Structure 1
Amino acid sequence: MTRDVQPSLDDIADTAAELAQLRTTADEILAQAWTTERTRVLLDGPGPAFDENVWKTVVDMGWPDVLVAETRGGGGGSLRELCVLAEASGAAALPVPLAAAAAANWCEQRTSDELTLVLDEIGTVVGDEVHGTWPIVPFGGVADRLLILARRDSEPVLGVVDVGEHGVQRTPEQPLDHGPAATITLTNTPFRPLASGASAATRHHEAVSRGRLATVAELVGIASSANDAAVEYAKMRKTFGQPIGARQAIKHRLVDQRSVIEIARALVNRAADACELQHPDAEALVSLAVFWAIDSLRRVPEGATQVFGGIAYTWEHEAHVHLRRAATRVTMLGSRSEHRAVVADWLRTRSQ
């Protein structure tokens, strides 16, 4: 059922204050738990860029369960709250799958220490077994469970696969951010159905949308952190007797990049509210936020890297950490043309 509730100005102010306090708290916690330098060091390590201890810290704080109802043991929070936490994790260069895990937990309305991922492609169910291949699944190498939308004959079925079951093959991949990605192949793998029919397909689609929107929020954090670092560098670095930030080309680049970030944040908030209210425009608004992230937001760490100049291209500098993470997160959002088509259709409908 679609809800159409118009909040008062006081409600909006209260919500904004609560979200700002949540972000402040999240930043304080992450400042104690992690640094961008630690993510950079992971890129030099022999294994994938994933830290089990910091993931356990995130789980213990209940962040992946923020969308799960309180009656189910979760935080009972809103999608905006998840996006605030995702943005904070992006700004801190946290190498964890918060967005993906939170979307999966929302889909099942289940809290657990196990890492569950929603796979956004459709497999095939024969009897009680599922078959399919999912190439380069982010964090697929460390997942414990998989939520899959498969088809039994022509009927969609939403179900769970435990990665410890037989028939699960995970081939390690190395994306640009060196995360623990894997190509996952399921062959005659035991499949536990949770729901079937149109409602199952809808639930899965909404979970994917929530995961993508939270990933855009994470990108906002990545871009913001990269741009802030470039601003500080532009104030400090001097050429010909003045800071490079005083030069028009640098100044305009940094301001334009900040504008891109603020637009992205506004689009995320609008889409999150639409999802919470089950508004008919929710899908289009999510695609609009995703399209902006793919088309514009991903370029912010690239522009920040150019502000740093040659030093940013050294392995010891942190600029490439944000650049790698942004490029990898963009690949989690789906096809640019797919989202552009959704937005174009939506805008065409609104203009009629």
Structure 2
Amino acid sequence: MTTSTAASAEEIAALRDSVREVIRRRGDRALRTAIESPTRTDVELWSTLCEQVGVAGLAVPEAFGGAGVTWLETAAVVEELGRALASIPMLSSAVLATGALMLSGDDAACELILPDLAEGSRRATLCWASEHDWNRSGIVADAGLLSGTADYVIDGESADVLVIVAGSAFDTRPSTLHHVDADAPGVEITALPVLDPTRPMARVTFTDVAATAVPSDSAIFARLRTLAWALLAVEQVGAASAALDLTVEYTKSRKQFGRVIGSFQALKHRMADMYADVETSRSIAYAAVEAIVTGSADANELAASAHVYCSEAFRRVTGEAIQLHGGIGITWEHDIQLYFKRAQSTAQLFGQPHEVVAALSASL
């Protein structure tokens, strides 16, 4: 693999501004239109961000058609997309599927798939979890054929390529990596009803599917989860920050007893606590991403801590936001309820916080 080069702080700031401007130009109704579309994704926004900003290929080495920078630049984009709850396959395609292929170290698979993913002309997703456990795969690989079911596949219904984490008939823990086209014979994709309408999920069933194996060692799955935890935490930071901004803006305009409610000391204290949650979350999330980029020995522990802390902080912030918005906060018309739903759903991805804490405790 080609070594990645980090961008400067000024370049990352410019990248953030570019992404935010593209989202702003899409307008306030773009998110609602996207989640009501057949694929539940904003296809136009994804195309624009890939073509104008190159978000899908930031972490992809130049040899495979990407920008050849680091996961820190991708994190900056993910945070901005989290702020907007953008319904696009950034996490599924540009982080999970791309990350899995890059971590495998297999040049053949990377040369075949990554250029199209980096360009944005094709989208991929990762088939990982079984129905009840992110530590187990619902897919079994036997003699080159895949069978079984992967649950909670993010953006599964709009993916062109499936990257599959599989176990064996004797041990369902992740052990092998595979890829196959989403329209291959024997693949059935079923859109799932979701709590968070801004994050589509699907169930993917494989029936004797001939897939291509990606040579890799089983250690990549721990590194892949580390990456997933860290980038998801950054996304949660962006969304929590936006929820705080919406709440502050609302309390500056909503009047009660002849005064704007934001002037009440008790509410100021609650919003100060929300701010503290957002900023401490940002610190630990970016510390985890930095540890991954630098290859730090404590990257897994930092990423696990970020997943736990940011999940809980995001839920606290959005819970307070709903309360401070009053009755309007639980209506479909107001976006704050979408942030609340995102907070609940993201805490379930890649292992619930209490499960991660238990695993960390057991490893001591």
Query: Which TM bucket (shorter chain)?
Result: 0.7 to 0.9
For residue 69 of structure 1, report the CA deviation from its aligned partner. Answer: 0.8
Q: Establish whether residue 139 from structure 1 lines up as the match of residue 158 from structure 2.
A: no
Residue identity over aligned pairs, in percent, reads 28
Q: Could you tell me the TM-score, scaled by structure 2's length?
A: 0.83
Partner of 2:134: none
Give a deviation string over 1:89-144, Cα, whole Å, max 9, x none.
11122111212212222332423122111223332211121112112322111122
Secondary structure of the 1:332 match is coil
* Aligned 1:153-302 pairs, distance under 5 A: 156-178=175-197, 179-196=199-216, 199=217, 201-302=218-319
Contact kept? 1:89, 1:221, Cα under 8 Å: yes
Secondary structure of the 1:22 match is helix
* Aligned 1:2-21 pairs, distance under 5 A: 15-21=8-14
Secondary structure of the 1:95 match is coil
Q: 2:124 & 2:42 partners in 1: Cα distance? A: 16
The one-letter code matched in structure 1 to 2:23 is: L
The one-letter code matched in structure 1 to 2:75 is: C
5+ residue gaps, structure 1, are: 1-10
Partner of 1:59: 50
Contact kept? 2:78, 2:91, Cα under 8 Å: yes
Secondary structure of the 1:27 match is helix
Q: Identify which of structures 1 and 2 has the higher relative contact order when contacts are C-alpha pairs closer than 8 Å and 6+ apart.
A: 1
Q: 2:266 & 2:166 partners in 1: Cα distance? A: 51
Q: Could you tell me the TM-score, scaled by structure 1's length?
A: 0.86
Q: 1:50 & 1:28 partners in 2: Cα distance? A: 19
Q: Establish whether residue 105 from structure 1 lines up as the match of residue 98 from structure 2.
A: yes
- Indicate how the Cα distance of structure 1 residues 118 and 55 shifts in structure 2: closer, same or farther if over 3 A, else same: same
For residue 230 of structure 1, report the CA deviation from its aligned partner. Answer: 0.6
Q: 1:63 & 1:244 partners in 2: Cα distance? A: 40
Contact kept? 1:158, 1:204, Cα under 8 Å: no
- Indicate how the Cα distance of structure 1 residues 297 and 180 shifts in structure 2: closer, same or farther if over 3 A, else same: closer
**Higher deviation after alignment, 287-296 or 170-179:** 170-179
For residue 215 of structure 1, report the CA deviation from its aligned partner. Answer: 1.8
Q: 1:194 & 1:41 partners in 2: Cα distance? A: 37
**Higher deviation after alignment, 236-245 or 334-343:** 334-343
Partner of 1:8: none
Q: 1:126 & 1:34 partners in 2: Cα distance? A: 48
Instruction: Please identify runs of 4+ aligned residues in structure 1 that moved more than 6 A.
Output: none
Secondary structure of the 1:182 match is strand
**Higher deviation after alignment, 253-262 or 101-110:** 101-110
The one-letter code matched in structure 1 to 2:313 is: S
Secondary structure of the 1:130 match is strand
Q: Establish whether residue 306 from structure 1 lines up as the match of residue 328 from structure 2.
A: no
Contact kept? 1:118, 1:208, Cα under 8 Å: no
Q: How many residues align?
A: 330
Contact kept? 1:226, 1:300, Cα under 8 Å: yes
Q: 2:82 & 2:194 partners in 1: Cα distance? A: 17
5+ residue gaps, structure 2, are: 1-5, 103-113, 130-136
